[in-house]
Structure 1
Amino acid sequence: MAILRAWFAGRHGIVPARMLFVPAFFFVVVADARPARGQSADLDTQLMLATVKVADPEATGTGFLLSRPSPRDAKVAQFLLVTAEHTLARTKGEEVTLFFHRRKADGTYEKAPAKVRVRQEGKVLWKKHPDLDVGVLPVVPPADAAPPAVPVDLLASDADLEKYEIHPGDPVRCVGFPHPNQFEPSEAGFGIVRAGCIAGFPLLPTRSTRTFLVDLNTFEGDSGAPVYLVDLQRPLQARPELARVRLILGLMVGQHFLDEEFKAIYQTSKFRHRMGFGIAVHATAIREAVEMLDAKP
């Protein structure tokens, strides 16, 4: 990881947020797009349920699950776990542990850890976006885990960004696991929500801009966290109306630092300052990586 950070810092002045590799997986479950009984339909809660900690002996990080109809059977739901590809690449073994969530009879939640295979005889099972830090991989969650209900259709397209006039300053949120080996915000294994705003410009076209800045602190362990926007009364300039907007804008892959060095007669030291800007890959890249799963070899 130190080598990766040094490479990023040298070339781009950025360092990827250290994360447990989290492959995107498909869970094959007979289900529809509605939330399970007793679960909230709001996107904040659904992404809280859909975001999981991924762990192996080498690292720990964040991934989140999306659902879509199975390409083989439209009546069967497939769940895709999406993450920053560098979190997957850091793992060494053939399995990682995903920490799902189980709802108990008394209404509380508990962790539901499950082993997920990410390699088969040394061959990686996830799909990597050819140019960007996005990885997806099929998996099956525990049968008694709380099933997420976040459809792939919520991934923002360029047309969505134009239609809903997404712009710098728009408030956004993310769910992640900062420093997961030192900080556990919930005994039930849930991540934490942080809020900020879109900090950079331009956003479009996403094939050219590739990433966007978010004005919020991100930390080691956050790579793969979903970045999303919810605005149920959004005024549109192009049309005199209010729009209900629920979009996943991208996933967190890194953060910006400012490095300072000082030299004394017998000592040289470096200070690293967080600039408070997260780096997110656009949701269009997530969709492209998902489509690679369906491509014929």
Structure 2
Amino acid sequence: MVIQDLPPEQPAVVAAAPPEWDLTVGVINATVQLDQSIDGGQRKVGTGFLISAPRPDGTPRVLLVTARHVLDVMPGREARIGWRTAEADGVWKFTPETLTIRDTAGEPVWTSHPERDVAVMQISAPPAFAQAAIPSGWLADAGAFDRWRMGPGDELMALGYPHGLSANRAGFPILRLGRISSWPLTPIRHFPTFLLDFVVAQGNSGGPVFWTPAARRVPGALAPDHPFIAGVLVQEVQSGGQGIDLGVVVHADYVRETIALLDQSGD
């Protein structure tokens, strides 16, 4: 009888889940500054984020999502979009480029939601940003909050450029954390917006409000099966002309609806 030595049994290789901060960084990488110089040396500043939303025929497409009023208050035909470029030595540089937001007749080239402060437009993004664009499946749908039992006290994160400031000279957005501070949250046809408790400033408008495992849930709550964009920040709550550290967030399903309108237009 021949006894054959068998190789030792190899442990199964299981793909490790990405660390929580890595998922958050993924949304950071998809978020950009929008700005336009106006009279008097001032500038209008807002925030946008990129979504990978293929056309109905499957053709790849990158969309810029922001609050409609961010683009409305920029009167010129061209704005700037704040790309960031990584150098070989690890240094990041702020490399903004021109973004056409109106045609030669002065008409918007973006698509607006008819009722909500949401706008989307197709853009040509550098390869690194096209790759960083958030999958459209990460946009929460109308039933997401009920399905994942999101409620008051749950944490969400928000990215933006308060007062035109960035996290560093490379132009990365500033991350803030807040808690859902209103109820009810659904059905969204009756409650199209919700409140988030965090410090809001001009320049934050249009930024993504999102969840990753780095944000805490109420004890015992279900964990969503993937990170998701909960909505778009559209307004700072004020009383007597003063901000009271509350932001108004439009549910992300209205971004989905706006993308559908873009598809219907054939753009």
TM-score with structure 2 setting the length: 0.83
Confirm or deny that 1:213 pairs with 2:198.
no
The answer to which of 224-233 and 159-168 deviates more is: 224-233
For residues 44 and 246 of structure 1, the distance between their equivalents in structure 2, rounded to whole angstroms, comes to 9
Give the structure 2 partner of residue 106 of structure 1.
89
Give the structure 2 partner of residue 169 of structure 1.
153
What amino acid is aligned across from residue 109 of structure 1 in structure 2?
A: W
Secondary structure, in 3 states, of the residue corresponding to 2:82? strand
Confirm or deny that 1:246 pairs with 2:227.
yes
Give the structure 1 partner of residue 47 of structure 2.
62
CA contact (8 A) 2:62 2:130 kept: no
What amino acid is aligned across from residue 77 of structure 2 in structure 1?
A: E
What amino acid is aligned across from residue 111 of structure 1 in structure 2?
A: F
Aligned residues: 240
For residues 145 and 64 of structure 1, the distance between their equivalents in structure 2, rounded to whole angstroms, comes to 10
What amino acid is aligned across from residue 129 of structure 1 in structure 2?
A: H
Give the structure 1 partner of residue 63 of structure 2.
80
For residues 132 and 178 of structure 2, the distance between their equivalents in structure 1, rounded to whole angstroms, comes to 24
CA contact (8 A) 1:172 1:196 kept: yes
What amino acid is aligned across from residue 168 of structure 1 in structure 2?
A: P
Shift in Å, 1:80:
1.1
CA contact (8 A) 2:139 2:253 kept: yes
Give the structure 2 partner of residue 35 of structure 1.
none
Work out which of the two has the higher radius of gyration on C-alpha atoms and give 1 or 2.
2
> CA-atom RMSD, angstroms?
2.3
For residues 106 and 46 of structure 1, the distance between their equivalents in structure 2, rounded to whole angstroms, comes to 21
Shift in Å, 1:148:
1.2
For residues 89 and 54 of structure 1, the distance between their equivalents in structure 2, rounded to whole angstroms, comes to 12
Secondary structure, in 3 states, of the residue corresponding to 1:204? coil
Unmatched 5+ residue regions in structure 2? 1-19, 39-43
Give the structure 1 partner of residue 7 of structure 2.
none
Would you tell me which structure has more strand in proportion to its own residues? 1
CA contact (8 A) 2:102 2:109 kept: yes
Confirm or deny that 1:257 pairs with 2:238.
yes
Secondary structure, in 3 states, of the residue corresponding to 2:70? helix
What amino acid is aligned across from residue 210 of structure 1 in structure 2?
A: P
Residues 40-51 of structure 1: matches in 2 within 5 Å? 42-51=22-31
Secondary structure, in 3 states, of the residue corresponding to 2:83? strand
Give the structure 2 partner of residue 4 of structure 1.
none
- Aligned identity (percent) is 33
Give the structure 2 partner of residue 124 of structure 1.
108
Residues 150-229 of structure 1: matches in 2 within 5 Å? 150-180=134-164, 183-229=165-211
TM-score with structure 1 setting the length: 0.75
Shift in Å, 1:155:
0.8
Deviation sequence 1:208-267 (CA, Å, 0-9, x none): 1010000001101110010011237968969xx7554411100101111121xxxxxxxx
Secondary structure, in 3 states, of the residue corresponding to 2:162? coil
Unmatched 5+ residue regions in structure 1? 1-39, 260-271
